[in-house]
Amino acid sequence: MDCAEEVSLLRRELSKVTGVFDLRFDVLQSKMIVEFNPAKVSDDSIRRTVKGLGMEAELWREEAAGRPPSGFWKRHGRSLSTLISGTALLAAVLEDAITSGNLLLAFLTQGEAGGAPGGVRTALFFTALTAGFAPSLPKALQSLRAFRADMNVLMLVSITGALVLGEYSEAATVSFLFALANYMESWSLSKAKRAIQGVLDIAPTEATVRHGDHEHRVPAAKVKPGDLVLVRPGDKIPCDGEVVEGRSTVDQAILTGESVPVLKSVGSLVYAGTINGNGALEIRSTRQAS
């Protein structure tokens, strides 16, 4: 799960399952939270439904969060298929340039400057087409079986239409550009995941919580909204919250890139992972730490 389209699909199909009454999604962690009635539906049934949509699901384990998927193809398949598709398309254009003697025209006509493509060029076009659309084909077929006209189906129709018309270069180009767009989307999401994981990794694992006149240390993940948390000078702030007592500067560079610490006083918002300056703060947690 790595895009809004897949979230929408999962929400629509799982909402139809008897016994499922709430769904929440975290795209950055590829995480889906399903609340259901065990008497009416099992987690195995939910996994089968997800598999029927062309995706896979497994029970969430915190220790596995942020790890790359197992298997070479799952980790590198999309980038490899995009590379093969682009290389084959470029080779077809260069072969046409050599044949026609006009490099610029070969690029402008997508490898057809020398007229109808010969055997080598046709093979390269089909290689580019097959490699580029291979990762999306299973999803397109799943959508066709379910009578859903999503982006994968539309691309399949476009490519098929180009092939029927004998426009092999157009079919290969569309396939490569679609693969490139999907790869860039996946790369951007992976980059965002790594950035957020970096912030989570620097957040403190414990917090000092005050209950009445007593203070005690608890795991940061156990801090609940409304808890009063004490942050001493130089400490990392363990959770998002609002300052209710104290005054200090806070280094927020890890989140905002600001080079100068920001002054915080009563009513100011502070964020997990940022570093308190030379004053003590008491903050009220505004969200569940995680």
Please, what sign has the CA dihedral across residues 211, 216, 222, 228? positive
Residue 282 is inside which H or E element, if any? Answer: strand 281-285
Q: Do domains 4-64 and 206-285 have the same CATH topology?
A: no
Q: Return the domain boundaries, the chain.
A: 4-64, 72-200, 206-285
How large a percentage of the chain has pLDDT more than 90? 33
Second CATH level (architecture) for the domain 206-285: Distorted Sandwich (2.70)
pLDDT for 34-50, tens place per residue?
A: 888 888 888 888 888 88
Q: Which residues pair with 276 in a beta bridge?
A: 250
Range in 36-45, 66-75, 77-86, 211-220 the model is least confident about:
66-75
Q: Is residue 82 pLDDT above 90, yes or no?
A: yes
- Amino acid found at 145: R
Residue with the larger pLDDT of the pair 110 and 286 = 286
**Mean pLDDT across the chain, nearest whole number?**
84
CA distances from 61 to 31, 57, 66, 111, 193 (A): 10, 12, 10, 49, 17
Sequence-distant (≥ 6) Cβ neighbours of residue 288 within 8 angstroms = 223, 224, 225
Kindly report the pTM of this predicted structure. 0.62
pLDDT for 105-127, tens place per residue?
A: 666 666 565 555 668 888 999 99
What is the rounded CA–CA span in Å between residue 210 and residue 260?
30
What is the rounded CA–CA span in Å between residue 46 and residue 43?
5
Give the sheet arrangement for strand 262-264, strand by strand. Answer: 262-264, 248-251, 275-276
- Amino acid found at 112: E
Second CATH level (architecture) for the domain 4-64: 2-Layer Sandwich (3.30)
Sequence-distant (≥ 6) Cβ neighbours of residue 89 within 8 angstroms = 111, 124, 125, 128, 172, 173, 176
Which whole number is the average pLDDT over 250-264? 86
Residue with the larger pLDDT of the pair 88 and 27 = 88
Side-chain-side CA neighbours of 137 within 13 Å: the count stands at 11
